[in-house]
Chain A
Amino acid sequence: GEDVEQSLFLSVREGDSSVINCTYTDSSSTYLYWYKQEPGAGLQLLTYIFSNMDMKQDQRLTVLLNKKDKHLSLRIADTQTGDSAIYFCAEGLRGGYNKLIFGAGTRLAVHP
């Protein structure tokens, strides 16, 4: 089946690390993505990981993938107020035209 689940809210203090978790069900996923949505705006790709990788680091962002458990996480180091947004996990399904299945989004609130 096609299902992606995320916790809905996360609140962190400025300067701390944030970890947003996601689980997915389709083991044939090719790429997994993290999108960011700021208030009143569309989604923007933040980072992605290919399904045969375990980890990807990009500046303050670290993506971990546990393919056995179908678990994906996004760690944001030194979280800033500008990181406050909704973060969507998405899996790209193999075959056809790469339909993306999105999670419900995790609302990250960063407070001083």
Chain B
Amino acid sequence: DTAVSQTPKYLVTQMGNDKSIKCEQNLGHDTMYWYKQDSKKFLKIMFSYNNKELIINETVPNRFSPKSPDKAHLNLHINSLELGDSAVYFCASSLKAPSSYNEQFFGPGTRLTVL
């Protein structure tokens, strides 16, 4: 009965490859997020979707493309991987709560290593 799950947990790949990370939540939340955590543990939001609609799109290279087939799923596809993409990617979800309390539930993370 995992709340927010991500696959894979670890991903090791060569520079230039294309890869995807998947995220699913069974909490009935409307909003999902992708965060990137670098080696110094800085956590930065990348994207957010609300009911399959993109609502937050930070300054992220367009090699990164999120896709939300339904409100329970948010996938992240990365083209032409670069060394600097190595990080832990966290998915999170929350209830839609404009101007209000916004507890976000995080997945366990996907550690991406680009060689």
Q: Are B97 and A98 in contact (CB under 8 A)?
A: yes
Known contacts: A45-B104, A86-B41, A105-B41. The answer to whether A95 contacts B109 by CB under 8 A is no
Indicate the size class of the contact surface on chain A.
20 to 34
Which listed segment binds A: B43-51, B63-71, B73-81? B43-51
Q: Number of B residues contacting the other chain (C-beta, 8 Å)?
A: 29
A31: chain B residues at CB < 8 Å are 100-102
A7: chain B residues at CB < 8 Å are none
Known contacts: A99-B48, A102-B43. The answer to whether A42 contacts B100 by CB under 8 A is no
Known contacts: A30-B100, A104-B40. The answer to whether A99 contacts B107 by CB under 8 A is no
Q: Are B102 and A42 in contact (CB under 8 A)?
A: no
Is A61 close to B, CB under 8 A?
no
Encode A92-105 as 1/0 by CB contact (under 8 A) with B. Answer: 10111111101011
Cα separation A31 to B45 with both chains bound (whole Å): 17
Q: Are A97 and B55 in contact (CB under 8 A)?
A: yes
How far apart are B106's CB and chain A's nearest CB, in angstroms?
3
Is B99 close to A, CB under 8 A?
yes
Is A52 close to B, CB under 8 A?
no
B105: chain A residues at CB < 8 Å are 45
Cα separation A96 to B31 with both chains bound (whole Å): 12
When C-beta atoms are compared, the residue in chain B nearest to A95 turns out to be: B99
How far apart are A31's CB and chain B's nearest CB, in angstroms?
6
How far apart are B51's CB and chain A's nearest CB, in angstroms?
11
A86: chain B residues at CB < 8 Å are 41
Known contacts: A42-B107, A42-B108, A45-B103. The answer to whether A98 contacts B40 by CB under 8 A is no
Give the top 6 A-B pairs by smallest Cβ distance, nearest first.
Answer: A42-B106, A98-B102, A102-B43, A43-B106, A105-B41, A97-B55
Chain A residues packing against B (C-beta within 8 Å): 30-31, 33, 35, 37, 40-45, 48, 50, 86, 88, 92, 94-100, 102, 104-105, 107
